[in-house]
Structures are given as C-alpha cells and as structure tokens.
Amino acid sequence: MSGPPDEFEWIARGLAPLAEGAPEAFGLLDDAAVIASRPGYDLVVSKDAMVEGVHFLKDDPPDLVARKLIRVNLSDLAAKAADPYGYFLAVAWPGNYGWPEREAFARGLAEDQARFGLKLFGGDTVATPGPLTASLTILGWTPAGCMVRRAGARPGDVIFVSGTIGDGYLGLLAAKGSTVIKSYQQADWLADRYRLPQPRLDLGQALRDHAHAALDVSDGLIADAAKLAHASQVGLEIDLDQMPLSEPAAAWLAQAVDPLAARIALATGGDDYEIVCAVAAESEPAILSAAKAARIALTRIGVATAGSGVRVMAGGREVEVAQPGYVHR
Amino acid sequence: MSGPPDEFEWIARGLAPLAEGAPEAFGLLDDAAVIASRPGYDLVVSKDAMVEGVHFLKDDPPDLVARKLIRVNLSDLAAKAADPYGYFLAVAWPGNYGWPEREAFARGLAEDQARFGLKLFGGDTVATPGPLTASLTILGWTPAGCMVRRAGARPGDVIFVSGTIGDGYLGLLAAKGSTVIKSYQQADWLADRYRLPQPRLDLGQALRDHAHAALDVSDGLIADAAKLAHASQVGLEIDLDQMPLSEPAAAWLAQAVDPLAARIALATGGDDYEIVCAVAAESEPAILSAAKAARIALTRIGVATAGSGVRVMAGGREVEVAQPGYVHR
C-alpha cells in the first residue's frame, strides 16, 4: 500500500486491534470512551507528550518510540502506586510516516500494552507539517485515598531511589553515537536504557504500604528531588556518593577527568524513570524487604530535613549544582 | 519578561490558576491527578488534538486557539450528552511563543473553562521545533449507562441536526481572507463560527431522553453521518434541501454558479461542531420541544433505513458526493 493511510483506514487497521476486549472503547467507533465507576477505587490520570528531536531521536525505530511513550506514562503510575488500566493516544503524523512506520508504532504499542496490562480506549489521529508529536493520557487505579503523592515527605524521612541513576544521560549520548562509552556492549545497553525505560510498577505495593511521598525521575534526580521537596515543604539532602550506578555508568565515571562534574552530570541528566520515595526511618527495613520481594533495587540516597530545597552532598561536603535537571521551554 | 518561560514558571504562573479549586489536580504539583469514583455515574472521556496550519491558522490569536481546543472537545461531550467536568492539556510550544502568547492562550482557557464548568486537572508542557501542537483530554459525567452512542440508530429513525451546517466551511474561507463572502459583516461572523465553535451542551437532556444515537459534525455532515450509519449498521438518507443554513451561508449559496456543488461543499466541509442525532419517529415532537426549551434549533434532515452508507438527496434525486468530508492523513 503506498502513500500515508487516511485516518479511517489507520484507525480500523492499525488502532482498533489495540482496543479489542475493552468495552470502554466501543471499537474506537464512537466520539468518546466510557469508564464505569469502580466504588472503593480512585482513577489516577497522567498525560505526557513526546516530540521527535526533543524526547526521542529522529532515527529511533517507531516501535521503540511508541513503547517509550507508554513507559514514560506508566512510570508516572508507578510513582503513584497505581495499577495500569488504559490509555488515550493522540498522534500528529508527519507526511513521511507511511504504513510501515505506523504499523511498527502500533506493534510497539501492542507489545507493551500486553506486557503491562493496558488497553487503548480512544484518542485522535491528525496530520502535521512538523515533527512526529504524540501525547498519551494514561489511566490507572488505586484503592480509594491510597495514591502516593509528591506531598507527604516529613523531616527525618529517609530518601530512597530505585534501580540506577545516570543511565538515561549516558544512554542518550550512546544513542547519539558519542564515543565516550568505549565498550560497544555497554554503549548498546545504555542506549537501550534511554530508549526503553523500565517503569517500576512492581514497587506499587511497597510504596502504598510504606512511602510518605514519591515521584519518578524524568528531568534529573536533583531536579525531581527538588519537586518532591517543594510539594512536601521539606528540605532534602542527597548524597551523590550513595547514588546507585550501573556497571557501565560506574566504568564511565572511573575514567572521568573530573569525577565530581561527571557524577553531577549523571544526577542531573534525566530520562532515568526510576522512583524517588520518602519513607519514615522506622519503615526502612520493611520497604527494603518489600522491594527485595518485588526484585527491585532500592538504595538510600539521603534524608528529608526541615527547611526547603535540595542540598547536594559529595565527599562529605555540599556541592554546587548549577543546572539541576533538564528544562523544557 | 524576555525569552520563553521555562516549564516550571509556566506551570506555576500560567497553568496552576486554571486548576484552582480542583482537589483532583493537587495544584499541578504532582505526577498525576486523582478522580474519585462517583457511584451511579460514568466518566465519559474524549481526546482531540490540533496542529497549527492544519486545524487552525498560523495567525489565529492564541486565546481563540485555546478556546477552540476546549470547544471541539466539549462538542464530543455534547454529542454524548455528558456534563463537562475537567481536562488534561498537553502543549508543544514552538520557540516563538513567549510569555504574551502563552498568557493569551491561558486566558482563553480560563474564559472557556469558567463558561463551561471545567477545571484543568493536569497534563504536560514540552518544546517543539515544529508548529504549535496541542491535545486535550476531556472528562465528563453521565448517569451510569446513559451515554448516547454512535451505535443505536434504527431503520425508521428520523435524523436531526442542530444549528446550521456549512458555516465552518465558509468561515475557514473567510478567515483565510477569501473574498467569496462579499459582506464584511457576514465574513466576520463566519470566521468567528470557524474559530469559535458552539458546543451544543444544552442539548444533553434532550439527547439522553430521546436520541437513539448521536455524534458531532467535525469532518463534514456527510462524512460524519456515514460514521453514525456504520456504527449503527443502518443506512442514512440525508436531504441536502433540508439542511439548515445560516443567513450568510444561504446568501452565499444564492449566488453560486453551481448551486448543487455549493450545497455539497457546505455538507462536506466540516468544522461545524453541530450534533447529528437519530430519533424514533414517535419521539419527534418530544425532542423538538426539548430542543426548543434549550433554545437550540433542531432540523430534520433525513431518515435511517435498512442497509448501509449514506444516500445524499437533492432536488428529489440521489446525488454523487465524491469526497464526503475532510480526511486527516
């Protein structure tokens, strides 16, 4: 089939299969979807957008772009300890995205919605003279009143982060072809971490049971820690020496000319999609044990204090961080 | 203030006021919003996107663009007989949209959310090297099980349309500076109809009480009638001679060299945001009286039949329509 598909062919062939089994979606044949009330539960809703050349690279395969879009939204649900339910998708297609690219995009959606237990409920398909632009509105459920918020951290709380930090930063460099990562194998692994974040949904129960506050790291550990501090009206002290690193990131850091600047780059680079959470000191053993059961590493990186803002520590001293994270303009 | 605002300034100063009074939104300081369950009601959700140069003109004032975005989404709620509740907004800003343009956009949102009873619940703000691109996810409520669907029309039903058809088509021409509309006053009125659709929310009760099926006219009367026919598995017969026209549209039609082609252009041009609905013949007096009480004109334009597709009639004969509506690619 040549030329771009029209909206209706695309919905019928590309998207309707993604709504199969979802009575909410009416086979994508209606103006709207319907979400029936679920007494005892709250609906948790988040919406994130991505733009070609800004949030992903021009040559990134469309199936990975679709999966990243689903995953950055799932990461928000993970941070709120919500269970995935469904999503709405709006895509503005440039003219050079024909059937093969769109089918790859739909394949990526299908793969990850099966993996994470989501269905497509609706959305919009439009044309654009600009770059591929997509937004996804994700819906999840939590028991009523149990969403873990950004507000809620208290002075004295211990601050944890899941997984490893800085792989997103190095992965973007690797994906762009930078040679700062010498090992091909490590460069590939890092680029994968950039292109395909792992939403930490399995941490949900542990967060619900033990966390006072949580959010996911998208703009950079320090920038996002500052958002948690602001919403909770506490200060945070984050120790860069305790920041968990992957083997490739540690190897890169070991070769850095300026190790402190390199460590700060990892802590401010963003695109990690790990979870930062605040936990009462006495709950530390319990959340560590719950995270272990969920097979997700959780590392203590700091404490909450009275005050405001983020103090960044390294080598036992406070360090200056000029740009705490990625800034969208 | 010079230069584009960063994401955080923009959220705090431009968007947070739009979330005031909405506990769902946590002051836009969290990763997600929470919608509490509302027993006895269904949540109706729709999502539409708009792209500069495709869905609105490059020079359209930002406040009107924002209001159109809200209104095209509200039009979906109107067609489903749902009551407006809240929305999520994702905007990809080009570099040339600074504070004044963004503040105008927020002012437009504020004006229409106050008018229609909506609050901002969340969303995303990103940068784009391309055209202004925005998507809005709108939420409304209906009593459980009462959403008016596209499916549901039955052979023998009468087909009605609200307001007038073709003003969107002529309004786009007028907004682009075309001189086919001779009267300045009429050209302005039509351009306003294009830029600022009137969502027919006041028709909700009438639709809930009397309509078997409904949808809104965005791509063109004939194209959208075909969607209703398809979803309902009926045929529709639409009589162009009965199609309701505004005074400016009627004046334009009266001067047309080829009146049939002109009438077809009005019926296929799109951007009308009127409601098409199917009603049992015996309910005709009741829905007309309900629409009159709501001060919305409702005009009978056809009937549903056994079969499929749309037969377009004019001058008592079937006419050929090559392109039934706007096609997004």
CA distance A189 to B41: 47
Q: Are B16 and B30 in contact (CB under 8 A)?
A: no
Residue found under tokens 């039609």: B253
Note the helical H segments in chain B: 7-9, 62-79, 99-116, 167-175, 184-195, 204-210, 221-232, 247-254, 259-268, 284-293
The 10s digit of each residue's pLDDT in A225-267 is 999 999 999 999 999 999 999 999 999 999 999 999 999 999 9
pLDDT for the residue B8: 80
- Alpha carbon distance A224, A213 (integer Å): 12
- Contact between B129 and A131 using a beta-carbon 8 Å cutoff: yes
A150·B30 Cβ contact <8 A: yes
Q: Which of B34, B35, B151 sits opposite A29 (nearest CB)?
A: B151
**Residue to substitute from A10, A11, A30, interface B, most B β-carbons within 10 A:** A30
Q: What is the pLDDT of residues A37-61, one digit of tens each?
A: 999 999 999 999 999 999 999 989 9
Measured between beta carbons, the chain A residues lying within 8 angstroms of B328 are 6-7, 125-127
Domain positions in chain A are 7-143, 158-318
Tell me the shortest Cα–Cα distance from B75 to chain A, in angstroms: 9
Calculate how close chain A gets to B137, using CA atoms only, in Å. Answer: 7
pLDDT for A122:
97
A105 close to A15: Cβ distance less than 8 angstroms: no
The answer to whether A126 contacts B50, with C-beta atoms less than 8 Å apart, is yes
Sheet containing B211-216: which strands, arranged edge to edge?
B211-216, B275-279, B158-162, B298-305, B235-239, B309-314, B317-319
Residue B1 has what pLDDT?
Answer: 42
Q: Indicate whether A329 pLDDT > 60.
A: no
Residue A1 confidence (pLDDT) above 80: no
User: Rounded mean pLDDT of A69-83?
Assistant: 98
Flag if B49 and A131 touch (Cβ within 8 Å): no
Q: Alpha-carbon distance B207 to B77, whole Å?
A: 12
A136-194 pLDDT, tens digit per residue, is 999 999 999 999 999 999 999 999 999 999 999 999 999 998 888 889 999 999 999 99
β-pairing verdict for B33-36 and A41-51: antiparallel
Check pLDDT > 90 for residue B178: no
Which chain B residue shows the shortest CA-CA distance from A133? B133
Mapped onto helix, strand or coil, the DSSP state of residue A10 is helix
Task: Assess contact for A72 and A120: CB atoms under 8 A.
Answer: no
Domains A7-143 and A158-318 share a fold: no
How far is Cα of residue A227 from the mean position of the Cα atoms in its chain?
Answer: 15
Question: What is the C-alpha separation between B13 and B20, in angstroms, rounded?
Answer: 12
Amino acid at A283: S
Contact B43 A48 (CB under 8 A): no
CA nearest A4 in B: which residue? B329
pLDDT tens digits, A198-219: 999 999 999 999 999 999 999 9
> What per-residue confidence (pLDDT) applies to B63?
97
Which of B209, B202, B201 has the alpha carbon at shortest distance from B279? B209
| Number of residues written out for chain A | 329
Burial of A247 (0-12, 13-18, 19+ CB in 10 A): exposed
* Per-residue model confidence as pLDDT tens digits over B256-308: 999 999 999 999 999 999 999 999 999 999 999 999 999 999 999 999 999 99
Of B5, B35, B151, the CB nearest to A45: B35
Contacts of A115 (CB under 8 A, 6+ apart): none
From residue A291, give the alpha-carbon distance in Å to each of A83, A86, B213: 17, 25, 50
* Number of cross-chain residue pairs from A and B with Cβ atoms under 8 Å apart: 237
Mean pLDDT of A86-98: 96
Domain boundaries B7-143, corresponding CATH code:
3.30.1330.10
CB-based contact A127 B55, cutoff 8 Å: no
Tokens (6 digits) for B200: 């027919």
Q: Which of B31, B38, B120 is nearest to A42 (CA)?
A: B38
pLDDT of res. A79? 98
Superfamily of domain B158-318: PurM-like C-terminal domain (3.90.650.10)
The residue among A46, A54, A135 with the most chain B CBs within 10 A of its CB, best to mutate, is A135
Q: What's the rounded mean pLDDT across residues B57-62?
A: 91
Question: Which chain B residues contact residue A35 at CB under 8 A?
Answer: 42-45
Lowest-pLDDT range of A64-78, B58-72, B109-123, B174-188? B174-188
Question: What pLDDT does B7 receive?
Answer: 77
- On whether the CB atoms of residues A145 and A208 are closer than 8 A, the answer is no
HSE-CB for A85 with a 13 A CA cutoff: 23
Mean pLDDT (chain A, rounded): 95
Q: What three-state secondary structure class fits A114?
A: helix
Give the pLDDT score at A218: 93
Give yes or no for residue B249 having a pLDDT over 60: yes
Would you state the torsion angle of the CA atoms of residues B262, B297, B63, B248, taken in this order, to the nearest 10 degrees?
Answer: 40
> What pLDDT sits at residue A186?
95
Q: How far is B141 from chain A, CA to nearest CA, in Å?
A: 9
State mean pLDDT over A290-309: 97
A126/B130 Cβ within 8 A: no
Nearest CA in chain B to A72: B31
Question: What residues of A are in contact with residue B4 (Cβ under 8 Å)?
Answer: 329
What integer is the mean pLDDT of A90-118?
A: 96
Residue B281: per-residue pLDDT? 98
Tokens at A116, concatenated? 């994470």
Test the B interface: residue of A6, A47, A83, A222 with most B CBs within 10 Å? A47
